C-alpha cells in the first residue's frame, strides 16, 4: 500500500485538500458586500441620501456610480456588478410634490445566489425607507407611537430556520459535498486496490495470502482502507461540528457511526463494480460515473422530491443519500434516532452486494481471464 | 542557391504537413480503438449533459407541502393561508390544531415548513395593533428555505398593504393620499437573464463547460497514461511516431482533439440549451470565437499535465473529484467577487474558470466578445502558456525516449 504515491494521494491528500479548500472557501458564511452600481439620474440631495442608505446594507456594496441604464447593463454583462439601482429623473421633485416616484432594482439572476440575496437586501432597505417616511407623516398627524407601528407594519413575519439559525451557506453545502468526495474516493480506491491485482496479474499471490479464500483476501486488503477512510471521515465530522460549530442537535456519535457506515457501504459498491467487470480501467470509469452522480443524488442542492419521479428510486442506490437523511434527521432536526433507523439499515444492507460477485471475483483471480487493458 | 533554399523550405513545409497528418491519423485510431477512451471522449460528453439536464429539468420547486397551524380560525387568517396556498411554489397540504402536531408532521417529512397563526391574530388586526405570524422552514436544502420564505413574505406583504390602507382610511387619510402614505416610494425588483430564477438556468451552463473540460482532460490523461504503460521505456511518445520532431506530434494531436471537441461543443452548447430550454440569448459567432481559445487552452493544459500521469487510471483516480472544486472556484454559485485572493489566483490556473464566466456572460447574459475581453484574452494567454509548457514537456519526454533507445542500441552492440 505504501509502494506507490497514488495510495497516499488517493486517501489522505485528496481528502485533506478538500477539507482545507471547502472550509477556507466558505468561511464568510454568506457572501457580503457584493458589488452593485447606482444610476442616479436625479442627482438631488434626496437621491444622494437614498444612495447613502444603500451603503448600509450588509450584502451589497456600491462600487460605482453610472450615468445611464445602458452603461449599467454593460457593466453587468461584464460581470463587474451583480445589480444596479436606477433612480429616475425628478425623483426628489416627485417625493416633495407627493407623486410617488418609483425605484427600480435590476439584479442579475444568472448568478442566482448573488442576485436573490442582493434583491432581498435592497427590498428590505427600501421598505425600511418607506416606513421611515410614513412614520414622519403619521407623527405629524399626531398619532400614538403604537398605532403608528400597527399601520406601518400590521403583520410581522417571524422566520425560523429549523436547525440552521444563521442561514450559513457553507452548512448547506459542506455536509453534502465532503461526504460526497469521501464516497467518491472510497469507491475509487476500493476499485483500484482490487483491480490492480488483476491488471498486474498478481491475483494468485493475493489469493494465496488469504489462504485461497476470497473472503479473507478481500477483508485483508480493504480493512486498512476502512480504518483510514473512517478516521478521515470522523476528522471531517469533528471539523464541521466542533471546529466550525455547524448545527448539531444530536449526539455526534451518530454522525461518526453514519460516516463509518458510509465508508463500508461505498466499499461494498466498489467491490460490486470491480466484480461486475474485473478490468481495472472499466471499474474505475464505472466508479467515477457513480461517484460523481452521488453528489447530485444526495438531495441537497436540488431536492430529490422535485426531480422527475423515476430518479427518486435511483437515489436509493447511493449510500450518500441515506447518509444525508441521517444528517438531516439527527444533526439538523435533532429528532429521535428511530427516524433514522431505516437509513442505517439500508446503509448496512449495502454490505450484501459483494456476495453477488463473490464467485465471479474468485474465478477472475484464479483464471486471470480478463484483459489487462 | 536561392532556388535550392526555396525547394528545401517547401520540402520542410510538406514534410511537416505530412508528419502532422500521420500523427492525426494515428491519434484518431488509438482513440477509437480504446473502449475507455471512447467512453471518456465520446460517450461521457454526450451523456452527462443529458443526464444532468433531465435531473434539474424542474427549474424551481413546485407546490412544496407546508402545514398550517391556524389558532385564530378567523376569516382573516383563512385569507392569509389561501394567499400562501395560491402561490406556485407552496401548497398547504394539512392543517393542525397545535404547533407540536405540525412539528411532528415535519419530523416525519410530510411537510417542509409550518405557518403558525396565533390565536389573537384577528383580534389584534381588528383593534389596530401589530400581530406576528411565524414561519418555520426546512433548511436541508437552500431551495426549500428560499421558496417557502419567499411565498410567506410575499403573501404577508400583500395582506399587510391592504390592512395598512384600511387603517389609514380610518385615521382620516384617504384616497390617493393613503396610497402615497402607505408606500411613498414603490420599488420594482427586475430579475435579469434568468427571469424565472430557475436552478437549471443558473447552474447548468457552468456544468456544461466543466463537462467539456473534465472529459477532455481525463480522456487525454487516459491516452497518455496508456501509451506510457505500453511503451517499453515508460515515456509518452514512442520514437517511431515522432521521429524526433516534437512540434509535429503536438500540433497533430491537438488538431485531433480540437476537431472532436468542436463537434461536441456544438452539441453541448448549441443543441442542449435549445432542447432543455436553458438560456441561449448569446450571439452564436461570439460563442464560436470564444470556444476556440477555451478548447485550445484545455487541450494544451491537459497535454502538459498528462506527461506526469504514470498510468492509465491515474487521471481518473486523482482528478475526478476536482470537478466539484472547479464548479465552486469558477464563481457561479458563490460570487466571484467574494472569493478570497488565494483561491481566485488558484482558479485562474484552470481554463474552466474563464470558460464558465465567459460562456455565461455571452450565452445567458447576451454579452458580446468585447464585454468579456478579460476572459477572452486570459484564455489566449493560457493557450500560449500551456502550449509552451506542452512543448517543453514533450521535448523532455521525446529526448528521454531517444536517449533510452540509444542506450539500448549501445547495450546491444556491447553484447
Cα distances (Å, whole numbers) of residue A362 to A45, A266, A273: 83, 20, 14
Residue of B392, B361, B166 whose CA lies nearest to A155: B166
Among candidate residues B319, B310, B345, B317, the one with its CA nearest the CA of residue B331: B345
Among the partner residues A104, A138, A156, nearest to B132 by beta-carbon distance: A156
Contact predicate B258/B295, CB 8 Å: yes
Cα A129 to Cα A54, B164, B354, distances in angstroms: 10, 16, 39
Cβ contacts of B189 on chain A, cutoff 8 Å: 105, 107, 119, 122-123
Alpha-carbon torsion (B58, B61, B64, B70), positive or negative? negative
CB–CB contact B323 A26 (8 Å): no
More confident residue, B33 or B380: B380
d(CA A119, CA A84): 10
At B1 the pLDDT is 44
The pLDDT value given to residue A151: 85
Contacts of A306 in chain B (CB under 8 A): 58, 61-62, 64, 143
* Chain length of chain A: 373
- Residue predicted with more confidence, A74 or B226: A74
3-state secondary structure of B116: strand
How confident is the model over B98-145, as pLDDT tens digits? 999 998 999 888 999 999 999 999 898 888 888 999 999 888 888 888
pLDDT (0 to 100) of residue A270? 95
Asked whether A365 and A203 are in contact (CB, 8 A), the reply is yes
Q: Do B193 and A292 touch (CB under 8 A)?
A: no
List of chain A residues with pLDDT < 70: 1-3, 162-167, 372-373
Instruction: List the single residue in A114, A115, A303 with the smallest CB-CB distance to B61.
Output: A303
Per CB-CB distance under 8 Å, the chain A contacts of B324 are 177, 180-181, 295
Calculate mean pLDDT across residues B303-324: 88
With contacts defined as CB-CB under 8 Å, which chain A residues touch B318?
6, 9-10, 14
Average pLDDT rounded to a whole number, residues B326-346? 91
- Residue among B177, B175, B162, B204 at smallest CA distance from B59: B204
Q: What backbone torsions phi and psi does residue A156 show, to the nearest 5 degrees?
A: -100, 135
Q: Which stretches of B75-117 are DSSP H helices?
A: 75-86, 99-107
Where are the domains positioned within chain B? 22-56+199-414, 64-182
Residue A280, all three cell numbers: 481495472
* Nearest chain A residue to B181, by CA: A134
Burial class (CB in 10 A: 0-12, 13-18, 19+), A11: buried
Looking at residue B298, its pLDDT comes to: 97
Neighbours of B269 (CB within 10 A): 26
Could you say which of 3.40.1710.10, 3.40.190.10, 3.10.180.10, 3.40.50.300 is the CATH number of the domain covering B64-182? 3.40.1710.10
- DSSP helix/strand/coil, B98: coil
Mutate to test the interface with B, among A303, A312, A315 (most CBs of B within 10 A): A303
Mutate to test the interface with B, among A95, A144, A157, A181 (most CBs of B within 10 A): A157
Closest CA to B338 of A75, A61, A295: A61
A25 contacts on B by Cβ (under 8 Å): 328-329, 334, 339-340, 343
Q: Which residues of B touch A155 (CB under 8 A)?
A: 80, 125, 130-133, 156, 159-160, 163
**Smallest Cα distance from B373 to chain A, Å:** 9
ipTM: 0.91
Torsion of the alpha carbons at B41, B45, B51 and B53, rounded to the nearest 10: 170
**Closest residue in A to B40 (Cα–Cα):** A285
Distance from CA of A310 to the nearest CA of B (A): 10
Q: What is the pLDDT of residues B230-266, one digit of tens each?
A: 765 555 555 555 555 778 888 888 999 999 999 999 9
A chain contacts of residue B340, beta-carbon cutoff 8 Å: 24-25
Q: What's the CATH number of domain A34-152, 1.10.238.10, 3.40.1710.10, 1.10.599.10, 3.40.1160.10? A: 3.40.1710.10
d(CA A258, CA A253): 9
Q: Note whether B136 contacts A: Cβ–Cβ < 8 A.
A: yes
Say what the pLDDT of residue B23 is. Answer: 80
Instruction: Write the CA distances from A276 to A183, A269, A272, A273, B301, integer angstroms.
Output: 19, 10, 6, 5, 34
Of A109, A153, A181, the CB nearest to B194: A109
Q: Rounded to 10 degrees, what is the CA torsion of B35, B39, B43, B44?
A: 180
Distance from CA of B305 to the nearest CA of A (A): 16
Are residues B116 and B135 in contact, defined by beta-carbon separation less than 8 angstroms? yes
Least Cα distance to A249 among A167, A334, A340 occurs for A334
* From A101, A105, A113, residue closest to B333, measured CB to CB: A113
Check B323 against A119: CB less than 8 A apart.
no
- Out of A34, A149, A302, closest to residue B337 by CB: A34
Distance, CA of A132 to CA of A208 (rounded, Å): 82
Q: How far is A9 from chain B (nearest CA, A)?
A: 7
Supply the pLDDT for residue B4.
47
Q: Do the chains contact at A303 and B143, CB–CB below 8 Å?
A: yes
User: How far apart are the C-alpha atoms of B305 and B96, rounded to whole Å?
Assistant: 61
Domain locations along chain A: 5-26+168-367, 34-152
Mean pLDDT of the B295-319 span: 90
Residue B342: how many other CB atoms lie within 10 Å: 10
Contact B171 A130 (CB under 8 A): no
The answer to whether residue B412 neighbours chain A at the CB level (below 8 Å) is no
Q: How far is CA B84 from CA B153, B158, B166, B239, in A?
A: 9, 10, 21, 72
pLDDT digits (tens, 9 = 90+) for B159-177: 988 888 888 888 888 777 8
Amino acid at each position: 500500500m505504501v509502494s506507490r504515491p497514488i495510495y497516499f494521494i488517493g486517501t489522505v491528500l485528496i481528502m485533506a485538500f478538500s477539507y482545507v479548500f471547502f472550509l477556507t472557501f466558505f468561511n464568510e458564511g454568506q457572501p457580503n458586500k457584493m458589488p452593485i452600481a447606482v444610476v442616479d439620474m436625479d442627482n438631488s440631495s434626496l437621491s444622494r441620501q437614498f444612495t447613502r442608505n444603500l451603503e448600509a446594507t450588509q450584502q451589497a456594496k456600491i462600487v460605482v456610480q453610472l450615468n445611464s441604464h445602458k452603461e449599467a447593463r454593460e457593466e453587468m454583462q461584464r460581470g463587474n456588478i451583480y445589480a444596479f439601482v436606477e433612480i429616475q429623473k425628478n425623483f426628489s421633485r416627485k417625493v416633495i410634490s407627493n407623486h410617488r416616484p418609483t425605484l427600480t432594482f435590476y439584479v442579475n439572476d444568472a448568478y442566482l445566489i448573488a442576485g436573490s440575496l442582493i434583491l432581498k437586501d435592497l427590498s428590505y432597505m427600501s421598505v425600511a425607507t418607506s416606513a421611515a417616511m410614513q412614520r414622519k407623516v403619521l407623527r405629524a398627524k399626531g398619532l400614538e407611537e403604537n398605532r403608528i407601528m400597527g399601520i406601518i407594519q400590521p403583520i410581522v413575519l417571524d422566520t425560523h430556520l429549523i436547525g440552521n439559525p444563521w442561514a450559513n451557506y457553507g452548512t448547506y453545502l459542506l455536509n453534502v459535498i465532503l461526504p460526497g468526495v469521501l464516497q467518491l474516493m472510497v469507491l475509487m480506491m476500493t476499485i483500484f486496490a482490487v483491480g490492480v491485482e488483476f491488471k498486474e496479474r498478481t491475483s494468485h499471490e493475493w489469493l494465496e495470502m488469504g489462504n485461497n479464500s476470497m473472503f479473507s483476501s478481500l477483508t485483508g486488503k480493504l480493512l486498512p482502507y476502512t480504518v483510514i477512510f473512517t478516521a478521515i471521515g470522523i476528522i471531517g465530522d469533528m471539523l464541521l461540528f466542533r471546529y466550525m460549530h455547524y448545527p448539531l442537535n444530536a449526539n455526534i456519535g451518530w454522525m461518526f457511526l453514519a460516516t463509518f457506515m458510509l465508508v463500508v457501504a461505498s466499499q461494498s459498491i466498489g467491490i460490486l463494480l470491480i466484480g461486475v467487470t474485473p478490468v481495472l480501467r472499466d471499474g474505475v470509469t464505472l466508479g467515477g460515473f457513480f461517484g460523481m452522480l452521488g453528489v447530485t443524488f444526495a438531495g441537497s442542492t436540488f431536492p430529490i422530491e422535485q426531480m422527475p419521479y423515476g430518479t427518486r428510486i435511483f437515489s436509493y442506490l447511493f449510500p450518500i443519500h441515506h447518509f444525508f437523511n441521517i444528517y438531516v434527521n439527527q444533526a439538523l432536526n435533532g429528532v429521535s434516532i428511530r427516524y433514522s433507523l431505516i437509513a442505517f439499515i439500508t446503509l448496512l444492507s449495502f454490505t450484501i452486494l459483494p456476495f453477488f460477485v463473490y464467485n465471479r471475483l474468485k474465478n477472475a483471480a484464479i483464471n486471470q481471464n480478463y484483459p489487462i487493458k | 542557391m536561392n532556388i535550392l533554399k526555396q525547394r528545401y523550405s517547401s520540402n520542410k513545409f510538406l514534410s511537416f504537413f505530412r508528419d502532422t497528418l500521420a500523427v492525426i491519423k494515428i491519434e484518431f485510431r488509438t482513440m477509437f480503438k480504446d473502449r475507455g477512451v471512447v467512453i471518456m471522449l465520446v460517450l461521457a460528453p454526450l451523456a452527462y449533459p443529458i443526464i444532468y439536464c433531465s435531473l434539474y429539468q424542474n427549474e424551481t420547486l413546485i407546490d412544496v407541502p407546508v402545514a398550517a397551524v391556524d389558532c385564530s380560525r378567523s376569516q382573516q387568517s383563512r385569507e392569509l393561508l389561501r394567499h400562501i396556498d395560491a402561490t406556485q411554489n407552496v401548497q398547504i397540504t394539512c392543517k393542525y390544531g397545535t404547533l407540536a402536531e405540525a412539528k411532528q408532521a415535519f419530523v416525519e417529512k410530510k411537510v417542509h415548513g409550518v405557518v403558525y397563526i396565533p390565536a389573537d391574530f384577528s383580534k389584534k388586526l381588528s383593534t389596530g395593533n401589530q400581530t406576528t405570524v411565524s414561519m418555520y422552514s426546512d433548511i436541508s436544502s437552500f431551495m426549500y428555505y428560499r421558496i417557502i420564505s419567499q411565498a410567506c413574505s410575499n403573501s404577508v406583504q400583500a395582506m399587510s398593504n391592504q390592512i395598512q390602507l384600511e387603517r389609514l382610511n380610518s385615521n382620516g387619510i384617504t384616497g390617493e393620499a393613503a396610497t402615497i402614505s402607505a408606500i411613498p416610494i414603490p420599488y420594482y425588483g427586475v430579475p435579469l437573464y434568468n427571469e424565472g430564477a430557475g436552478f437549471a438556468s443558473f447552474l447548468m451552463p457552468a456544468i456544461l463547460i466543466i463537462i467539456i473540460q473534465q472529459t477532455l482532460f481525463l480522456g487525454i490523461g487516459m491516452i497518455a497514461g496508456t501509451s506510457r504503460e505500453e511503451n517499453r521505456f515508460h515515456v509518452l511518445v514512442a520514437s517511431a511516431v515522432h521521429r524526433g520532431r516534437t512540434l509535429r506530434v503536438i500540433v497533430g494531436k491537438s488538431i485531433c482533439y480540437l476537431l472532436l471537441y468542436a463537434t461536441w461543443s456544438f452539441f453541448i452548447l448549441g443543441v442542449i440549451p435549445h432542447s432543455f430550454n436553458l438560456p441561449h440569448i448569446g450571439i452564436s459567432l461570439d460563442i464560436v470565437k470564444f470556444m476556440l481559445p477555451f478548447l485550445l487552452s484545455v487541450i494544451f493544459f491537459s497535454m502538459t499535465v498528462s506527461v506526469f500521469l504514470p498510468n492509465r487510471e491515474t487521471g481518473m483516480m486523482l482528478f475526478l473529484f476536482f470537478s466539484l472544486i472547479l464548479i465552486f472556484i469558477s464563481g457561479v454559485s458563490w460570487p466571484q467577487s467574494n472569493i478570497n485572493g488565494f483561491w481566485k489566483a488558484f482558479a485562474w490556473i484552470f481554463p474552466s474558470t474563464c470558460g464558465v464566466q465567459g460562456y455565461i456572460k455571452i450565452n445567458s447574459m447576451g454579452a458580446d466578445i468585447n464585454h468579456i475581453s478579460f476572459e477572452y484574452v486570459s484564455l489566449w494567454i493560457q493557450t500560449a502558456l500551456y502550449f509552451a509548457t506542452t512543448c517543453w514537456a514533450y521535448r523532455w519526454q521525446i529526448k528521454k525516449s531517444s536517449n533510452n533507445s540509444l542506450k539500448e542500441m549501445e547495450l546491444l552492440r556491447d553484447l
